[in-house]
Amino acid sequence: MTSNQDIPPPPEDGWKHEGVRVIPADSLDSNTAQTPGMNRAAAINLARTGAQKLWAGTVHIHPNAKTGAHHHGHLESVIYVVKGKARMRWGEKLEFTAEAGPGDFIFVPPYVPHQEINANENETLECVLVRSDNEAIAINLPDVEAVEKPEGVKWIDPTHTH
């Protein structure tokens, strides 16, 4: 239980500049870690908003394009598909695959080698990306030799039995 003693006092300006921040869509920052085949843009991070535990932004993958294999170190990542069809491949040889569409969430645990693919030939894949730390980490893995035919994997919810 939290007591009022654990809550710091408001800043001198009464939260005016240290409170809620709205980051307009046209002011995202593309000066962030990149992976070939995609464009990331930061909205929220330590430098831009003072975020201590989050990085959030957008990612766009051009029609019929795919990223190189990579991972994000110790960070957890959440991808929310806004528009298009995402195909994810993951594993030491990208041997597993699953697809996600608008409204779907994708969770990527720390250190998992993965690749994002735009499964649509005519439409840009647009996603929102959130990470569990205030700076972006992208470790590209150029030496991963992907298997030719990955195994499809359906998610099983461990908290709800079917």
Q: Among 100, 80, 76, which residue's Cα sits nearest to residue 88?
A: 100
pLDDT of residue 84: 97
Nearest Cα neighbor of 79 from 109, 112, 45, 105 is 105
Q: Residue 57, SS3?
A: strand
Give the per-residue pLDDT at 24.
94
Element (H, E) at 116: strand 114-118
- Residue ranges per domain, the chain? 28-152
CATH code of the region 28-152: 2.60.120.10
Q: What is the pLDDT of residue 18?
A: 82
Q: What is the pLDDT of residue 136?
A: 80
Number of helical H runs and strand E runs in the chain: 1, 11
Q: Which amino acid is at 40?
A: R
Residue 72: which of 112, 117, 14 has the closest Cα?
112
Q: pLDDT tens track of the chain, all 162 residues? A: 556 678 888 888 888 888 898 999 999 999 888 877 788 899 999 988 989 999 999 999 999 899 889 999 999 999 999 999 999 999 999 999 999 999 999 999 999 999 999 999 999 999 999 999 988 888 989 889 888 888 999 888 888 766
